[in-house]
Amino acid sequence: MSTQNNALAVPRRSFDTRRFIDDWAMMLAALAIFVLCTLFIDNFLSPLNMRGLGLAISTTGIVACTMLFCLASGHFDLSVGSVIACAGVVAAVVMREFNSVALGVTAALAMGLCVGLINGLVIAKLKINALITTLATMQIVRGLGYIFSNGKAVGVMEEKFFIFGNGQMFGVPVPILITLVCILFFGWLLNYTTFGRNTLAIGGNEEAALLAGVHVDRTKIIIFAMQGVIGALAGVVLASRMTSGQPMIGQGFELTVISACVLGGVSLAGGIGMIRHVIAGVLILAVIENAMNLKNIDTFYQYVIRGTILLLAVVIDRFKQR
């Protein structure tokens, strides 16, 4: 049998341009935008602005890591914006009552976990559309946030709590460190574990994954549970930065996060997603927003520009799937 020869008979290309573009285009675009901004915008590279940019990236960056898993599995989670607000409120209220930072943070994360588990169970076990499920929990959790806080911001007195948002380690703000850790961890999780590969297989073809013996339901539940916990973590960081739990923040935040992921190259249809897509998407959105602020562009115009960029990104995504 000449099987071995046959397998090698097809020419092996050492460099696949199309694949390279698919994988790295948005990363290069992010880099290009960054370079353009340093060249043409005064004060862009200043330490103060870089710090602001880093902090702006941090919240979106943290949540985008788990949104990547939701999208890669062919779903999405609209409840994160509410989870962020509610987590901040829960942390603040628990700290006010019990004077314990550990208890406050744990309570917030536990709340996120519960919301995530409910999302996951309903979507995986009851087979209900993620759009409807998370649209419902988005409103429920937003409401709970208002109920816990009586509709007003809840101030935090515990000094130690401010480490999450305003502390520094090795000269780097803690939120940025948390973002980096999340990116590294979730990037590793997606590429080097069965869980990560199964996530992509489910997004690519759920029926085939099921027949291949993948724990489809369990994987989905874990994905949404992760999203809940990480959303709550982002909420804790945000509350710490603002020194209070505010029930009204984070409205529309879920859409920003999904925009960032899709902009970077994660497929809305599922099956395609890499951590570098997330990095690129988050960077592009944040840098452009930062640049627009430095240039004093009116907020109204900013909406138009952001929407246009997103529309462009989805159109590109559509062409890539051909």
Partner 1 sequence: MEALQQSVQGESLAFQGIVKTFPGVKALSDINFTARPGSVHALMGENGAGKSTLLKILGGYYQPSSGHLRIGDRDMVFKNTADSIRNGVAVIHQELQLVPEMTVAENLFLGHLPARYGIVNRGRLRQQALQLLKGLAEEIDPNTRVGRLSLGQRQLVEIAKSLSRGAHVIAFDEPTSSLSARETERLMAIIARLRDEGKVILYVSHRMEEVFHICDAVTIFKDGRHVRTFEHMSETTPDQLITCMVGRSLDDIYDYRPREKGEACLNVSDLMGHGLQKPVSFEVCQGEILGLFGLVGAGRTELLRLLSGLERHSAGVLRLKGDELTLRNPRDAIAAGILLCPEDRKKEGIVPLGSVAENINISARPRHASWGCLLQGRWEKENAEKQIRALNVKTPTPYQKIKNLSGGNQQKAILGRWLSMPMKVLLLDEPTRGIDIGAKSEIYQIIHSLAAKGIAVIVVSSDLMEVMGIADRIMVMSEGAVTGELARAEATEERLLELALPRTRA
How far apart CA 207 and CA 297 sit, in angstroms, is 48
192 scored as a contact of partner 1 (CB under 8 A): yes
What lies within 8 Å, CB to CB, of 273 at 6+ separation is 68, 69, 71, 72, 190, 200, 203, 261, 265, 266, 267
One of 24, 146, 162, 195 touching partner 1 (CB under 8 A): 195
**SS3 assignment, position 168:** strand
**CB of residue 173 to partner 1, shortest distance in Å:** 32
124 scored as a contact of partner 1 (CB under 8 A): no
**SS3 assignment, position 269:** coil
One of 28, 36, 45, 212 touching partner 1 (CB under 8 A): 212
> Do the Cβ atoms of 283 and 30 come closer than 8 Å?
yes
Determine the interface stretch with partner 1 among 11-19, 45-53, 56-64, 117-125 (rule: CB under 8 A).
11-19
194 scored as a contact of partner 1 (CB under 8 A): yes
One of 58, 59, 133, 198 touching partner 1 (CB under 8 A): 198
221 scored as a contact of partner 1 (CB under 8 A): no
Q: What angle do CA 214, 186, 226 make, to 5 degrees?
A: 70
70 scored as a contact of partner 1 (CB under 8 A): no
> Do the Cβ atoms of 229 and 116 come closer than 8 Å?
yes
**CB of residue 154 to partner 1, shortest distance in Å:** 39
How far apart CA 191 and CA 213 sit, in angstroms, is 19
Burial class (CB in 10 A: 0-12, 13-18, 19+), 167: middle
Determine the interface stretch with partner 1 among 80-88, 136-144, 186-194, 297-305 (rule: CB under 8 A).
186-194
> How many residues bind to partner 1 according to rule CB under 8 A?
29
3 scored as a contact of partner 1 (CB under 8 A): yes
How far apart CA 73 and CA 199 sit, in angstroms, is 5
One of 15, 42, 43, 207 touching partner 1 (CB under 8 A): 207
Decide whether 96 or 320 has the Cβ nearer to partner 1. 320
Q: Which helix (H) or strand (E) holds 300?
A: helix 299-320
Question: Whose CA is closest to 287, among 26, 44, 48?
Answer: 44
71 scored as a contact of partner 1 (CB under 8 A): no
How far apart CA 224 and CA 116 sit, in angstroms, is 5
One of 21, 132, 208, 312 touching partner 1 (CB under 8 A): 208
- Hey, which residues does 244 pair with through a beta bridge? 155
211 scored as a contact of partner 1 (CB under 8 A): yes
Decide whether 3 or 43 has the Cβ nearer to partner 1. 3
Decide whether 43 or 322 has the Cβ nearer to partner 1. 322
Residue window 231-270: x/- pattern of binding to partner 1, with contact defined by CB under 8 A: ----------------------------------------
Residues engaged in binding partner 1 (CB under 8 A): 3-4, 6-7, 10-13, 192-195, 197-198, 200-201, 204-205, 207-215, 271-272
